[in-house]
Chain A
Amino acid sequence: MASTLTNNPGEPPEQALSAAIELVALSKSYHGFHVVDAISFKAGYGRIFGLLGPNGAGKSTTVKMLVTLSESSAGRAFVNGFDIEKQTQAVRTSLGYVPQLISADGNLTAYENLNFSAKLYGLLHSERKPRIYEALTFMGLFEHKDKIVKNFSGGMIRKLEIAQAILHKPRVLFLDEPTVGLDILARSTVWEKLRYLKSELNTSILITTHSMEEAEILCDDIAIMQQGKIVVQGDIKSLKETIGEHASLSDVFVHYCDNSMVDRGNYKDARQTRFTVDKLG
């Protein structure tokens, strides 16, 4: 199928294209408290970048700023070369987002959910149906297209949300804890699809995760956050080598995170995670 992602008006300036995602001293403060404290990193095109960290580290807040759901307090960031504050429409068109919460509407069928997204993303009427079928087939949900989503399993809901997020063929995909609450089979399927998106379609992906296993299997590069700051970043192999010959990613995580402050999430974070696990599990 011919790509529609080819026209010029949304083209970012050449100098900004070195990274799919770039943060320069990006900060977010609430009432003087730095939830995200001047963090900087680059995520390359066609790679999977993992943002790791304990509860309350600022991962989800960072993602919310990058997907334009929340304004930054200071610093700058670019997604697909577009400034998240000044070129909001171009950023939104460039990205797909799968939040930790359940974004699929349980009272609609899988097809209706995607058709709604297709309209919001301005897909032409003639393109919608083939594109929706393509996305549903890719995620293994085609036979379930006319079923009401509230009868789906957790894994099917997550797959539908990924189908929804890639419907407009975004350059950059953000997934906030994509496999939380899923069983191992559903997790493996999600991982397989994400790897395909990266390797075959050159989609750049940023995920947040608590799971070292997930990060190890999926990510090319990672950054570990704690208390709003990035404590270490780099490619997984190099980071492991800094700890020792047989070090795992968990060893890296424990080494760089201050154990006394590992779990800093609040009631809202815990409720949100448990709500998602409850709904998907």
Chain B
Amino acid sequence: MLGKPALPSINLDKTPMLLKIFRETSAVVQVEILKLKRDPFELFSRAVQPLLWLLVFGKVMAQVKGVAENEIDYLSFLAPGILAQSLLFSSIFYGISIIWEKDLGVVHKLLVSPAFTFSLVLGKAMAASFRGISQAVIVYLASFLIGVKVSWSFSSILGVVGLVILSSGLFSTFSLIIACLVKTRERFMGIGQLLSMPLFFASNAVYPLSLMPPVIKFLAQLNPLTYLVDALRYFMIDSGAPEHSMIWNFGILVVFFGLFLYIATRLYPGIIR
């Protein structure tokens, strides 16, 4: 039977901090992947929307010729935008699972453990990134099938994977912040709907910044999705021309992700109050 604990000391975890963060974060990610493998329906259902955007909206808009086609056709212009939209939409509602875990009591178990809160938040973000990669695979394949000039070089794919991990983490952490603030599923759904469409349309996902009225253009320049789309366009599409340097695009995304991680780490313990 269970060995008697020696009185009265305890064994504090002496693992170096980075190793401890890695162990705890990967534990959270593994659990999320297990659950997703057991019930992959969500992955398939989330694939429908980007496919509709590409196959219906994209095909129709390509006929309209509203967007000037310089070096790339409209479908090739649109595909990275739809990948970014897919990542945004799947991550922005990630917080609802956090509220569900809070209502069940699972969060209580996590928060009384000696694990760093930062690790728990980062683990959730990385789990969302895993989902993001599956979305990227679907959009990549669909884009290829409809004739988009997708870049298959190793460095391009590596760049896209990096962006998917970073942006899914960013938007899911943003979602976790909202969940910590609103605390109920009903309110969360309302806020999620309220934020997702403006974030999508006030970006360069479906039309270039140059076509936007000044106010929308200004808002788009404050929107991290704009920088994600710009970087995706560079990596994902052959001869894709970015508007900003990659250092700038990645820098903006890293800064937003770092800021959201910090805020979410501070707010997460308060979700149960």
Contacts and interface: CB of A to CB of B under 8 A. Distances in A.
Q: Do A and B actually bind?
A: yes
A157 B110 CA distance: 17
A122 B10 contact: no
A251 to B, nearest CB: 34
Given A5-B10, A89-B12, A166-B2, A69 B114 contact: no
A9 interface: yes
A85 interface: no
A97 interface: yes
A169 B3 contact: yes
Contacts of B105: 99-103
A198 B11 CA distance: 20
Interface stretch (B32-40, B62-70, B220-228): B32-40
B114 A3 contact: no
Interface in B100-147: 103-106, 108-115
Contacts of A99: 105, 108-109
Nearest to A87: B12
Interface in A43-88: 45, 64, 67-70, 80-81
B94 to A, nearest CB: 16
Interface string B1-38: 11111111111111100001001100100110011001
B108 A97 contact: yes
Nearest to B119: A120
A121 B2 contact: no
Nearest to B273: A70
A121 B3 CA distance: 17
A220 interface: no
B99 to A, nearest CB: 13
Contact of A107 (B6, B12, B14, B38): B38
A202 B104 contact: no
Given A93-B10, A120-B27, A171-B5, A102 B15 contact: no
A240 B106 CA distance: 38
A17 interface: yes
A281 to B, nearest CB: 16
Given A67-B112, A93-B114, A202-B4, A122 B9 contact: no
B272 interface: yes
A102 B104 contact: yes
- Chain B: interface residue count, which band? 35 or more
Nearest to B9: A11
A265 interface: no
A1 interface: yes
A134 interface: yes
Contacts of B4: 3, 200-202
A119 B23 contact: yes
B269 interface: yes
B108 A93 contact: no
A117 B31 contact: no
Given A89-B114, A93-B10, A97-B112, A105 B5 contact: no
A126 interface: no
A122 B34 contact: no
A100 to B, nearest CB: 8
Given A116-B27, A122-B13, A134-B1, A12 B112 contact: no
Contact of A103 (B11, B35, B38, B106): B106
B130 to A, nearest CB: 16
Contact of A10 (B9, B34, B115): B9
Contacts of A275: 103
A92 to B, nearest CB: 4
A46 B246 CA distance: 61
Given A80-B10, A103-B109, A134-B2, A92 B114 contact: yes
Contact of B113 (A6, A92, A102, A166): A92
A138 B2 CA distance: 8
Interface in B182-208: none
Given A11-B8, A103-B108, A107-B38, A122 B2 contact: no
A230 B112 CA distance: 25
A252 interface: no
Contacts of B13: 89, 93, 121-122
A93 B109 contact: no
Chain B CB count within 10 A is highest, among A5, A68, A80, for: A5
B2 A202 contact: no
Contacts of B30: 116
A21 to B, nearest CB: 13
B267 to A, nearest CB: 14
Given A100-B105, A103-B109, 10 more contacts: A5-B11, A7-B9, A7-B11, A97-B109, A101-B105, A102-B106, A105-B35, A107-B34, A121-B13, A121-B114
Sorted nearest first, the 6 A-B pairs with minimum C-beta distance are A101-B105, A119-B27, A122-B13, A10-B10, A103-B109, A10-B12
Interface of B: 1-15, 20, 23-24, 27, 30-31, 34-35, 38-39, 103-106, 108-115, 269, 272-273
